[in-house]
Amino acid sequence: MSNHSLKMKLAQAQQNRGQCFCFIIPPKVFERFLEDNSFSQEQKQNFKNEITIDNSWREFKGREVKKCRKTVRHLGPLDAVDPTFAPSSKVTIFDCKNSYSLPGAEILKVEESDDPTVQHVLIETQAIIKFFDSVFIRNSIDDQGIDIVSSVHYGVAYNNAFWNGIQMTYGDGDGNLFIDFTSSSDVIAHELSHGFIQYSAGFEYENQAGGLNESMADVFGSMFKQWRNKQNVHDADWLIGKEILGPAALYRGFRSLRNLSNPSDPSCLSPQPAHFSEYVDGMDPHESSGIANFAFYQAAMQVGGYSWEKVGQIWYKALVAFDPNPQMEMQFFANRTRFLAKKMFAHDTSVYKAVNQAWLTVGL
């Protein structure tokens, strides 16, 4: 894909209401550190710049990209994908060279690049394609073999990564609060999972649907990391983004961005509520997602084994086996997974019991 054609595609996406812009780091993280006088004025100015850049994208999304939904082929309830439909997705990577212009310059021979950031993106993106194929029999994130496009070295010391509706974008981090955003496999999988959600359930990025959108990205990001490391639910750490934390974050006692096993963990940069009673409309999806995150964790721990084998299959079907529901509410999603647990594992009632109890634990 040429630089020009991707720019045209990006322009078309920006006019398409079926796209969404989703960031791994919420603005409250930077707002918190603006109050920390141990950071230099230069570092604080960098945080202000992050907020300005990210808010510009969010405001654009609010004006032009109201619904994270796209018309695609949808399966009927509990239908299966033809297993002979082989993956054909290609990974294309562009280099922004520290500019804020997307997509950047195409790297023509990605496999031969000696840039470790490029290699991280190539290897992990290929692994994510394989993950969706082998675990869920899904042909890339859209089930149609769509190519995965990524841009690296976005901006100057840019502290974020995002999915903008058609591609991934990664900052290098400032080397202090965050390091290279391609360093964490679950961060890459989290953001690409926003694309998967876009092409399946199409959740909007606000209110309860927004919380579900963020939660599904965390859940599939965590499942991918566990699958990549061959970890069962008891071996997994259930942390999101621990590998991208820089020395300033580690020095302050932070261990990760979020923790599915304990959403309110104070060692998280972005702590979350874990019970629906704490939810309020308008809450940042990065916060409200903790409710559904904790439900998935509870269900997976009760069922045991590998998270993607049973509970992950239920969550996947809940997203792909029904028509898009952009304004999905959490109770409705919880009930859908209950229904699927009974339907898919009728021979094993312990699965339904685990899913049911997990949602009751979070108040749904």
Domain ranges of the chain: 3-198, 207-361
pLDDT confidence of residue 69: 37
pTM value > 0.75:
yes
CATH number of 207-361: 1.10.390.10
Q: Cβ(287)–Cβ(272) under 8 Å?
A: yes
Catalytic: which of 50, 190, 286, 287?
286
Model confidence at 218: pLDDT above 90: yes
Q: What is the mean pLDDT of residues 250-273?
A: 97
Q: What percent of the chain shows pLDDT beyond 90?
A: 77
Neighbours of 316 (CB within 10 A): 23
Q: What is the mean pLDDT of residues 334-338?
A: 98
**Do the domains at 3-198 and 207-361 have one common CATH topology?**
no
pLDDT confidence of residue 71: 34
Confidence of residue 61 (pLDDT cuts 50, 70, 90): low
Catalytic: which of 50, 124, 191, 214?
191
Give yes or no: 286 in active site.
Answer: yes
Cα 320 to Cα 9, 76, 200, 217: the distances in Å are: 25, 9, 5, 14
Model confidence at 7: pLDDT above 80: no
DSSP string computed for 116-179? HHHHHHHHHHHHHHHHHHHHH--SSTTSS-PPEEEEES-TTT---EEE-SS-EEE----SSSB-
Q: What percent of the chain shows pLDDT beyond 70?
A: 86
Using CB atoms within 10 A of its CB, is residue 176 exposed (0-12), middle (13-18) or buried (19+)? middle
Name the CATH topology of 3-198: Elastase; domain 1 (3.10.170)
Mean pLDDT of the chain: 88
pLDDT confidence of residue 62: 53
Give yes or no: 42 in active site.
Answer: no
pLDDT confidence of residue 87: 47
Residue pLDDT, tens place only, 9-32:
444 443 333 456 789 999 899 998
